[in-house]
Amino acid sequence: MIKIVRIYRMTLPVEKERIAQVQEIFRQNFPDVADYASKIPSQLDNPIQYGYTSVLLVSETLLGRVNGFSLFFYFPDIRCALLDFLAVRNGTHGSGTGGALYEATREYLKEMECLGLYMEAMPDDPGIVKDPAILKENQRRLKFYEGYGVRPICGTEFETSIEESPAPHLLYDSLGNPEPLKRSRCRSVMRTILTKKYGQIVSPDYIKNVVESVIDDPVKIREPRYIKKITASVSRPYKDQFKKPFVMVSSTEHEVHHVNDRGYVERPVRVKAIRDALELTNLFESIGPRHFGQKNILAVHDTDFVKYLKAVCQKLQSNRPVYPYVFPIRRPERRPKDLAVRAGYY
């Protein structure tokens, strides 16, 4: 059984152990950029610093051995994602782990209503790649993604080399969206990737030239080279494994849309605004309230407070909002006489 888990932060011991295994797998698969592995914890912990949300999914056995990982970035301003690295442990190739991780990545982004997943892959052209071993590996990788209908964007300057080595292709996964990729979105994605990922090593002129090289509308995608017939990926319940760490309970029965009370000067923060902001983080599972009997309530709340609520609610008008005063308890024996504002006492 392949178990997919998301790692949020490097806080708990089990998360630290998982990340250590991810770094080990990373260094096995990408020795030329092995130092990048030490950057992964910082990317998870500091989304504001990097300007995007880093998501790390791992595949592990029931005994906690990590066999592979998928690291991708979600850019909320353009609602698109970049798959940065996907790798499996040495000796597990052909086990289906890589495919499971990629499908889990797609399912996760679909839940986020992501508009597209992009990734870089080195060229598979013998005229560009002279080393047979490297060429074979590049072809294997592009064949893997082509099996999901994912192919390189063509007709742009994205492949312009930054250094002497060949530049990668930019691949596009529509995540099941039948609409063709529009030029404006492709330009936004390229600008974001080059700025966020390569901003330290490329000039603004380089970014401008690459972005403006996207002329076709819709954007052209390379014809299939390896897979004659695309087989739709089997939908698996990976999303059920991405348990969100927090539960948010909210009710729509008590939302206040207008405040007409005379003398009211504060602007209330709407429950819906708070709820919408929290849901965007993808950390909260939103559920409705449940009814509990008085026995459960008294096990948690002060008996006097419960009696007060029962008494005051029976006297309130259904169309009149109440805003209790909140104040420190200096003299507990002196409670406010006005029941409608006494809630702040508790």
pLDDT tens per residue across span 285-311 = 777 788 888 889 899 888 988 888 888
Q: Tell me the one-letter amino acid at 14.
A: V
Which tens digits make up the pLDDT trace of 150-186? 999 999 988 887 766 778 899 999 998 889 999 999 9
Is residue 193's pLDDT more than 90?
A: yes
Q: Which pLDDT does position 329 carry in this prediction?
A: 60
Q: Which pLDDT does position 170 carry in this prediction?
A: 93
Quote the DSSP letter at residue 167: P
Give residue limits of the domains in the chain: 3-241, 244-261+268-290, 292-346
Tokens of 6: 């998301």
Answer whether 81's CB lies under 8 Å from 41's CB.
no
Answer whether 272's CB lies under 8 Å from 286's CB.
no
Place of tokens 């074979």: 136
Phi-psi region of 158 (alpha: psi -120 to 50; beta: other; left: phi over 0): alpha
Q: Which pLDDT does position 82 carry in this prediction?
A: 95
Comparison of pLDDT for 40 and 13, the residue scoring more = 40
CA distance linking residue 71 with residue 192, whole number of Å: 17
CA distance linking residue 241 with residue 263, whole number of Å: 50
Report the pLDDT averaged over residues 124-140. 88
| Global confidence as pTM | 0.68
Q: What's the fold here for domain 3-241?
A: Aminopeptidase (3.40.630)
Q: Which pLDDT does position 220 carry in this prediction?
A: 93
Torsion 202-203-209-214 (CA) sign: positive
Q: Which pLDDT does position 313 carry in this prediction?
A: 81
Report the pLDDT averaged over residues 95-112. 88
Report the pLDDT averaged over residues 115-125. 92
CA distance linking residue 71 with residue 82, whole number of Å: 9
Report the pLDDT averaged over residues 95-121. 90
Report the pLDDT averaged over residues 85-107. 85
Confidence of residue 86 (pLDDT cuts 50, 70, 90): very high
Residues 6+ apart with CB under 8 A from 297: 306
Is residue 266's pLDDT more than 60?
A: no
Residue 245, judged by CB atoms within 10 A of its CB (0-12, 13-18, 19+), counts as: exposed
Quote the DSSP letter at residue 33: G
CA distance linking residue 275 with residue 114, whole number of Å: 20
Is residue 253's pLDDT more than 60?
A: yes
3-state secondary structure 176-198: CCCCCCCHHHHHHHHHHHHHHHH
Q: Quick count: other Cβ atoms within 10 Å of Cβ 292?
A: 10
Is residue 129's pLDDT more than 90?
A: no
Q: Which pLDDT does position 229 carry in this prediction?
A: 65
